Structure 1
Amino acid sequence: MKQKFMLQSTLALTAFAAVFTQQQLTYANEQEQPITIGAGQHTPITLDAPNIDNPAAPTITNVNTSDVKPIEGQTVDVRILATTDLHTNLVNYDYYQDKPVETLGLAKTALLIEEAKKENPNTVLVDNGDTIQGTPLGTYKSIVKPIENGEEHPMYVALNALGYDIGTLGNHEFNYGLDYLNKVIASAKMPIVNANVLDAQTGEFIYEPYKILEKAFIDTEGRKTLVKIGVTGIVPPQIMLWDKANLEGKVIVRDAVDAVKDMIPVLRKAGADIVLVLSHSGIGDDIYEHGEENVGYQIASLPGVDAVVTGHSHAEFPSGNGSGFYEKYKGVDGIEGKINGTPVTMAGKYGDHLGIIDLNLTYTAGKWNVNTSKGQIRKIDTKSAAADKTILDLAKEAHEGTVTYVRQQVGTTTAPITSYFALVKDDPSVQIVNNAQLWYAKQELAGTPEANLPLLSAAAPFKAGTRNDPTAYTNIPAGPIAIKNVADLYLYDNVTAIVKVTGAQLKEWLEMSAGQFNTIDPHATQPQNLINTEYRTYNFDVIDGVTYRIDVTQPNKYDRNGKIVHETANRIVNLEYQGKAIDPNQEFIVVTNNYRSNGTFPGVKDASLKRLLNLENRQAIINYILAQKEINPRANQNWYFADTIKGLDLRFMTANSAKEFSSNLEDVSYLEPSSIEGFGTYRFTYVEPTIQVEEPNLPPLAPTTPIIEKEIKEEISLPNGQKVTLPVSKIVQPQSKTSLPATSISKNSRSDKGKLPNTGTSTSPLGLFGLATLALASLGLKKGNHSKD
């Protein structure tokens, strides 16, 4: 239910809405390290704090408060436990590889929670958002078999079972639209707070801006005492860019620091002894720009904030040993886990860590005061199969449904598809995405004025060793391709989009993408690192339909934040269309995703046309493979490096296991294992390329949804018993009579009761269930149920 907290000034609200789009914003995929793009003049504007006649929001009370009133001199140790960026990793299972793993999953984090509670039962357990999206399980429960009204989302079923006190929203909570999010929140049996997302028309808080948790703790003398913890939460304002199609005209988002600053006195007036901020925002840095994305540093620096849980960046803080990334900034203590004296945690991603904040409080002069504090994170046990049985049991239905869904076969590939070398040469995992986008966009644009313009496609390698994770690569063997493999190729719930750009803008787009590489000294004889590891690989767009080379001996034109640092630099050379140099005034249509089209990426932000298409990018790939039946993943080598690096000793890292794929490559050779576990060091040797400019081998154009031919009808039954009549495409083979194989779990890893299936790597032919889910997803999206990352 909306809280009827009105903003004091309608004029302030109107001004905020007008200025918002001109503020300097950051653009990063999910939850990542910041990449600030686009600088514009703007006047910072602050919305008035909410006018609350009675500031006491509903409280969560677990005791008779009259029996546990604090007394002068009492001391109590309070522990805050936090997860962040779970991204529907409910169990320790990799749906893309279709096998159990021990590096992620709330079922494993739960063991750390139990251990931490045993050490100190005076706990507050919180979740920091990005909870309902991220794996095929999230897709399954939002599109394939969406939750019904009143049905609790499996993630919140698990959080409740573990005793979570409260949560907040992440940017990915908005991916499936406000209606779906409202359904999730309404059925969640725990409070979910957010203080900076407001109704665009009324200025009201859409979600509860805060809660007061009244908790009975045991003091150091063994007596019960009452502590009131005030909790609020924020999300990056950039959701207005990332989920523009879902949010534009419906909500506005305040600057996160302003929102927290205004909420602190409200929380204190409501009786909060301790102020805890759930900041679904990265720590960022010590330089603040109004409206920016990652402001954990600034929130921790606000007077009156006692503890901060951060996330969004999928990074880790504190290091515990003083060696962490953020510890270069003034006031950051990576040993005690503090930023300017305030304890802070960032517990990684996917449940791989648990954040722990310890507060020692003494009740003096009628209030609780923080004496000492410390932040730390603990990593799950990745060496054993130990997991919380309660979570496994609760997850069973959703997990098994997801496994069945992702195993639906859509086609075959004639060769392996890997992304191990996607940052040093044209890559099959990116090529297939671009081929599919071109095929789909041609259908969508047929008969429109845009069909007369040259059509290009942009895609980036999403899995290329993200954040020093040697398992974060695509590796699809030759043979059957299932939905799980497509999800591995395209991780995010983006929606296809087109932009119209000029040749000049296209070059700037590629100049920004070329920031993936370090500047190479052409005269150096010693080894040089080729890859800029601080650049996010999802911003390394490869644009198909043109040919070009990248001269990495030139400096970057843009820094990783999208700001011009070398105005005259030209890394992109020999940029050609159909064998001729591109005319700067020539117009092109580029098919991409809503994330890129709505952002402020150089070359894209000034596009004269931006339009969403009807399908998610992932669904377009599925339809393409269904139509093609058998795909050849060979990349067409439309980009390569300029010959200015010829003869140089260039090094880069990728998974150590990729060495078997390098043996038949002329320009890549394996050297040795890296000092970072799971990675290997490779040498890149320039080899004069043969650039192929022919059109990709695409299947014939089909209607917008290729799996549907209206003259053939079929009635099918979904797993929930619902009868659906769908048109069936002639290109789909008849349903196989083969059932999914019987599965089992090792008794050494889990008990037989409530066990999860060991799904292995088997796939089944595309049956009517798979066809139904694909078609329903397509039809749902055509009605405007778009989602993104």
Structure 2
Amino acid sequence: MSSTNLQRRRVRAGVLATAAVLVLGAAAPATAGDGHGHGGRDTYQLTVMGTTDLHGSALNWDYFTNAEYDDSAHNDVGLAKISTLVNQVRADRGDRNTLLLDAGDTIQGTSLAYYYAKIQPISKRVEHPMATAMNAIGYDAAALGNHEFNYGIPYLRTFEKQLDFPLLAANATLDKNGRAAFTPYVIKTVRTPHGKPVKVGILGLTNPGIAIWDKANVEGQMSFGGLVEQAARYVPEMRRKGADVVVVSAHSGADTSSSYGDALPFPENAATLVAEQVPGIDAILVGHAHQEIAERVVTNTSTGRPVVLSEPLKWGQRLSVFDIDLSYGRGRWTVQSVDASVLNSNTVPEDPKIVRLLADEQQTVVDYVNGVIGTSTEAMSAATARYEDAAVLDFINHVQAGAVKAELTGADADLPVLSIAAPFNKDAAIPQGDVSVRDIAGLYIYDNTLLGIRLTGAQVKAYLEKSAEYFKPALTPGTYPAASLTNAVTPTAPNGTPDYNYDVMGGLDAPLTYDIDLAQPVGSRVVGLAYDGVPVTDAQEFVVAINNYRQSGGGNFPGVTTAPVVYNRQVEIRQLLIDWVSANQVVDPAVFSSTNPDWRLTSGGTPLTVTP
């Protein structure tokens, strides 16, 4: 075994604490097939690297705190960090022996991404900073993520044209003719020292949930099939065309589940199913779920062969590295083994080349997000918004409900208006005094648009019951740490219900009040639901301000996908919040937040005390 291979195996075993530095510091090339062996067969090692869910993270910067990115685990983010890791892997393995892939969700998620989508949209003259960085790093292919469709198909096509590598989506088809909307796969030819090239098939799979989450942008234009079904179609085709290795880049989580329940016939998270059910795949770069999976081995049920999965967390915090060992015999290359690991981007500095390339765009966005647009009479924090009534969510609900009410006509204009908001970002805060764009943007980190729908009182209660599934039981009154009550595991959330799938509902012109009794079973937790102090009846009607993700089925909340839509102006909620502050100049919680809580957690009717 070469010294490099020994080092790499020690890293996988967890022996080396600083994996990136030690593995990548090896001087000898890791092309295990430079010689002959294995009974006279030629051998070769191919390395495939992968990122996913970059979400507009180009540099190691937090636009909401106006500082270098940091979190409780001291992760770093961004393509500039990834570039350094990639350069080191290429130096270690040999540039010609490596490929670099991405598994989607690239152009949405940071103020940088928002600025070049909405403030100064990309065009023939304005290149997306993510395209600039990814081209400079030298990606070979990328799968499409669901968030690629947030800004519409024309915007995505513009981004696609700016890339030096293909965007892949085998399960995206054009409604007008059923043909592939994007390149399904590519076969890359990798030259080996033996003069016997290895053909690497790269299949891209995107998420079927796009049909729900971005319905307004794709309906009537594109459809999105199941990952298993399309992989079963294309993997044999790639093999017939000579692919020696097949790697799938899938914007779909490893643990099978769907946030939209049975609203679609295809699961949202299906990477493991693809590995189990589709013969001929060697490795899968996993995305979408924002999980760290260094290596997971799944056995294909037809062939009994292992398929190796790896997911490099999110935002450029990790780089997945697949080492694929091949041997040559009978006129072709055969995969002998696949090992995977992840490298941590916080172990390396940013690549100065990428930092320099994006310096102007970075300064433009920093100046934009730090612009003062108003003042706040007091500080507000989202830190406790998951488990107690918080003014920051009241503010979001106030702005959303007000925007919807202003546009209602006819009988709908006489209905009471409610609104829902989720604690997307528990680090978000509005300071007392000057308020900037970044302060407001930090409250709403997704590019959702606003709709208004009509629900009955019974549907409102059912909605709140669904939301209350977020909490774990509390069978007796007392004091509980937040972690023991929040993020409950459910059949559709095996890793715990995410914060963004917990909604608080509030009223505009009068309070909507309710208790969530955690001593009661799921489905019977919402107690004392009242509007303006009067119990809500099943037949009572409301207009509810809701985001497009939720209204289109995200989170599988009941009643919303079929409810009458009474408002839909395709206005982004984040921009509504920024515009509201700019117009009103003063953010005063007394305007939109009650002294007494509108909702509370209880056990048997007794309010709970929750600690951070």
TM-score of the superposed pair, with normalisation by structure 1: 0.66
- 8 Å Cα contact 2:184/2:203 also seen in 1: yes
The residue that corresponds to 2:532 in the other structure is 578
Counterpart-to-counterpart distance in 1, 2:324 and 2:266: 31
| Matching of residues 426-505 of structure 1 within 5 Å | 426-445=389-408, 447-464=409-426, 473-505=427-459
**Deviation, structure 1 residue 162:** 1.1
CA–CA distance in 2 between the matches of 1:444 and 1:363? 68
Q: Deviations over 1:677-729 (max 9, x none)?
A: xxxxx4xxxxxxxxxxxxxxxxxxxxxxxxxxxxxxxxxxxxxxxxxxxxxxx
The Cα offsets for residues 196-220 of structure 1, whole Å up to 9 and x where unpaired, read as 11010100111111111111134xx
Counterpart residue number, 1:506: 460
Q: Distance in 2 between matches of 1:226 and 1:193?
A: 23
Q: Is the 8 A contact 1:213 1:228 kept in 2?
A: yes
Spell out structure 1 runs of 4+ moving beyond 4 A. 286-290, 523-528
Between 146-155 and 343-352, the greater mean CA deviation after superposition: 146-155
1:110 aligns with 2:75: no
Find 1:530's aligned residue among 485, 489, 507. 485
Q: Tell me if 1:120 matches 2:93.
A: yes
Q: 1:645 to 1:73 in 2, by over 3 A?
A: farther
> 1:479/1:668 Cα in 2 relative to 1: closer, same or farther (>3 Å)?
farther
Q: Which letter does structure 2 place at the counterpart of 1:303? A: P
* 2:358 maps to 1:395: yes
Pick from 376, 388, 396 the counterpart of residue 413 of structure 1: 376
- Asked if the contact 2:299/2:307 (under 8 Å) is kept, the reply is no
Percent identity between the two aligned chains: 35
Alignment counterpart, residue 615 of structure 1, candidates 571, 576, 585? 571
**What letter matches 1:118 in structure 2?**
A
1:105 is matched by which residue type in structure 2?
A: G
> For 1:361-372, what aligned pairs fall within 5 Å after superposition?
361-372=326-337
Q: Match for residue 93 of structure 1? A: 61
Q: 1:550, 1:572 within 8 Å by CA — same for their partners in 2?
A: yes
Matches within 5 A, 1:542-557: 542-545=504-507, 546-557=512-523
* SS at structure 2 position matched to 1:433: helix
Q: How does 1:206-225 map to 2 (within 5 A)?
A: 206-218=181-193, 223-225=194-196
Query: C-alpha distance in 1, partners of 2:361/2:411?
Result: 45
CA–CA distance in 2 between the matches of 1:575 and 1:482? 36
- CA distance in 1: counterparts of 2:339 and 2:406, whole angstroms: 57
Do the aligned partners of 2:474 and 2:519 also contact (CA within 8 Å) in 1?
Answer: yes
* Partner residue in 2 for 1:188: 163
Secondary structure, counterpart of 1:642 in structure 2: strand
Deviations 1:621-679 (A, max 9, x none): 1122123211123642211123526487xxxxxxxxxxxxxxxxxx455xxxxxxxxxx
Q: 1:272 aligns with which of 235, 243, 246?
A: 243
Distance apart, 1:459 and its partner CA: 0.7
1:309–1:345 contact (8 Å) kept in structure 2: yes
The 2-side partners of 1:523 and 1:541 are apart by: 23
Distance 1:450 1:526, change over 3 A: closer
- Return the alpha-carbon distance in structure 2 between the equivalents of residues 349 and 503 of structure 1: 39
Of residues 147-156 and 372-381 in structure 1, the stretch that sits farther from structure 2 once superposed is 147-156
CA contact under 8 A between 1:84 and 1:347: conserved in structure 2? yes
Distance 2:539 2:307 in 1: 53
1:350 aligns with 2:315: yes
| Contact 1:72 1:363 (C-alpha < 8 Å) held by counterparts | no
* Distance of aligned partners of 1:281 and 1:591 in 2 relative to their CA distance in 1, 3 Å threshold: same
| Equivalent residue letter for 2:522 | N
Partner of 1:78: 46
Residues 175-227 of structure 1 deviation map (CA, whole Å, 9 limit, x = unaligned) = 11011111111221112211111010100111111111111134xxxx45411
CA distance in 2, matches of 1:234, 1:72: 38
Name stretches of at least 5 consecutive residues in structure 1 with no aligned partner. 1-70, 321-325, 333-338, 465-472, 558-569, 649-666, 670-681, 683-789
Contact 2:257/2:267 (<8 A) preserved: no
Residue of structure 2 equivalent to 1:179: 154
The 8 Å contact of residues 108 and 114 in structure 2, kept in 1 or not, is answered as: yes
Distance (Å, rounded) in 2 between the aligned partners of 1:342 and 1:106 = 28
The C-alpha deviation readout for 1:347-376, integer Å capped at 9, x for no partner, is 011100000111100011222111111111
Q: Deviations over 1:91-120 (max 9, x none)?
A: 011011111225211111222212222221
The Cα offsets for residues 248-284 of structure 1, whole Å up to 9 and x where unpaired, read as 0011111111011100111112221111111011112
Distance 1:647 1:448 in 2: 41
**Amino acid of the structure 1 residue aligned with 2:440:** V
Structure 1 position 423 matched with structure 2 position 391: no
- Residue 104 of structure 1 contacts residue 351 of structure 1 at CA under 8 Å; is this kept in 2? yes
Structure 1 524/614 Cα, relative in aligned 2: closer, same or farther at 3 Å?
closer
Give 1:397 shift. 1.9
Which residue does 2:139 correspond to in 1?
164
Counterpart in 1 of 2:10?
Answer: none
Paired letter, 1:367:
R
User: Which of 308, 333, 346 matches 1:381?
Assistant: 346
Residues 240-259 of structure 1: matches in 2 within 5 Å? 240-259=211-230
Asked if the contact 1:522/1:645 (under 8 Å) is kept, the reply is no
Change over 3 Å in CA distance of 1:152–1:224 after alignment to 2: farther
Q: CA deviation at 1:72?
A: 7.9
1:522 shift after superposition = 2.0
The structural deviation recorded for 1:598 is 1.2
- Residue among 303, 321, 334 paired with 2:279: 303
1:233 to 189, 201, 204: 204
Query: For the residues of structure 2 that align with 1:140 and 1:497, how far apart are their CA atoms?
Result: 23
Aligned-residue CA RMSD (Å): 2.4
Q: Deviations over 1:33-86 (max 9, x none)?
A: xxxxxxxxxxxxxxxxxxxxxxxxxxxxxxxxxxxxxx9821001111001010
Which of 529, 548, 568 aligns to 1:594? It is 548
**Cα distance in 1 between the residues matched to 2:192 and 2:369:** 45
Aligned to 2:604, the other structure's residue is in SS state helix
1:343·1:375 contact (CA, 8 Å) conserved in 2? yes
Query: 1:266-314, CA deviations, whole angstroms, 9 ceiling, x for partnerless residues?
Result: 1112221111111011112399994010001011222100111011011
Distance 1:269 1:150, change over 3 A: farther
Unaligned runs of 5+ in 2: 1-38, 71-75, 489-495
User: 1:262 maps to which residue?
Assistant: 233
606 and 504 in structure 1: CA distance in 2 versus 1, 3 angstrom threshold: farther
CA contact (8 A) 1:83 1:351 kept: yes
Describe the shift of the 1:583–1:93 C-alpha distance in structure 2 as closer, same or farther (beyond 3 A): same
Are the equivalent residues in 1 in contact too, given 2:477–2:604 (CA < 8 A)? no
- In structure 2, C-alpha distance between the alignment counterparts of 1:96 and 1:256, rounded to whole Å: 35
Q: 1:363 to 1:518 in 2, by over 3 A?
A: same
Contact 1:450 1:589 in 2 (8 A): yes
Contact between 1:74 and 1:362, CA under 8 Å: does it hold in 2? Answer: yes
- Assess, with a 3 A threshold, how the Cα gap between structure 1 residues 455 and 355 changes in structure 2: closer, same or farther: same
User: What corresponds to 1:199 in structure 2?
Assistant: 174
